[in-house]
Amino acid sequence: MKLIIEIPLKRSYFSFASHLLVCIIALLLLGSCKGSRRLANSSPEFTIIQTAKSYSGTPYRYGGTTRSGIDCSALVYHSFAAVGVNLPRTSTEQSKLGEKVPLNSARPGDVLFFATGKKKKEVSHTGIVTEVKNKEVRFIHASTSRGVTEDYLSNSYWTKAFLFVKRLETK
């Protein structure tokens, strides 16, 4: 008489291993999305952002338009000029162009406008969205204290000063 003993552990082990493999593959596929869209190197938005980033570390200078000193609107002006878009020189005038988009629709290359002065609703600062990842908006701008740098909109200072987002035509 043969005694056959079935070991349920083997069966559950293989079931567990196959489920684990499926979960790992799903996580890898989902993780590759990361809630953001990667820009093509040939896109105007990529060029705009790379131009702005090339000014990183440039000191802030009110009215400045060069690499020895630049203000926020000149950074936006030069970045868009790199793709043939001619913008006004001031953030107030720049804010009158383009299409307003909801913040939750912001994407790299969009322009953010802020009220950093005494008047809470008057545009006085601008920056360019460089990344949107998991609803977290990162932007580059010319900071009066740190020069050209990147910040997150979730920073309480920028959240309070934020007014709106504009998408400018780049074609």
39 part of a folded domain: no
* CATH number of the domain that residue 53 is part of: 3.90.1720.10
User: Residue 135 is encoded by which pair of tokens?
Assistant: 């609803």
CA distance 59 to 70: 7
> Cα dist. 90→54, 55, 83, 87, 152 in Å?
20, 18, 19, 9, 22
Instruction: List, in order, residues 6 or more apart from 35 with CB less than 8 Å away.
Output: 132, 133, 134, 135
Q: What is the pLDDT of residues 8-53, one digit of tens each?
A: 545 554 455 454 444 444 433 444 444 455 778 889 999 999 999 9
The domain in which residue 143 lies consists of: 44-167
In a domain, 9, yes or no: no
Asked if residue 22 is part of any domain, the answer here is: no
Let me know if residue 93 belongs to a domain: yes
Is there a contact between 102 and 23 (Cβ–Cβ < 8 Å)?
Answer: no
Return the active site residues.
72, 125, 141
**Is residue 143, in this structure, part of any structural domain at all?**
yes
Q: Given the structure tokens 């005038």, which residue do they identify?
A: 93
Q: 7 or 66, which is more confident?
A: 66
Give domain status of residue 11, yes or no: no
pTM > 0.85:
no
